[in-house]
Amino acid sequence: MRLLHTMIRVGDLQRSIQFYTDILGMQLLRQKEYPEGKFTLAFVGYGDEKENTVLELTYNWDTTEYTHGKGFGHLAIEVNDVYQAAEKIQQQGGKIIRKAGPMNAGTTIIAFVEDPDGYQIELIGKKS
């Protein structure tokens, strides 16, 4: 068994694709419209779906905004240097909601970014 993807609903597909590709450095792996269902799926990630877990962006054509509820927490991305990654993301227009630094009650360096739909993404420093 292996984890294939995580799906999140987005209000503006092109804006979300731009964020995940241009700001977070993922690749658009595939995209398909489903006219009968009135939705589009786009899959983004850091590598081929055959070997990597990816993110599915679901755009329902008649919905521009979602509430996140209390169950979902965040996505997490490992980076070589959290300070550099957070600074680069901010310079490219990304929204940093927690500056880079040690986590509460620990030593792991983390930061939090918010995507255009308000989903939180944790940047975690790569362990040596």
Contact between 85 and 94 (Cβ < 8 Å)? no
Of the residues 33, 87, 114, 122, only one is catalytic, namely 122
Please choose, from the candidates 67, 22, 74, the residue with its C-alpha nearest in 3D space to the C-alpha of residue 44: 22
122 classed as catalytic: yes
DSSP 11-79: S-HHHHHHIIIIIT--EEEEEEEETTTTEEEEEEESS-TTTS-EEEEEEETT------TTT---EEEEE
Catalytic site positions: 122
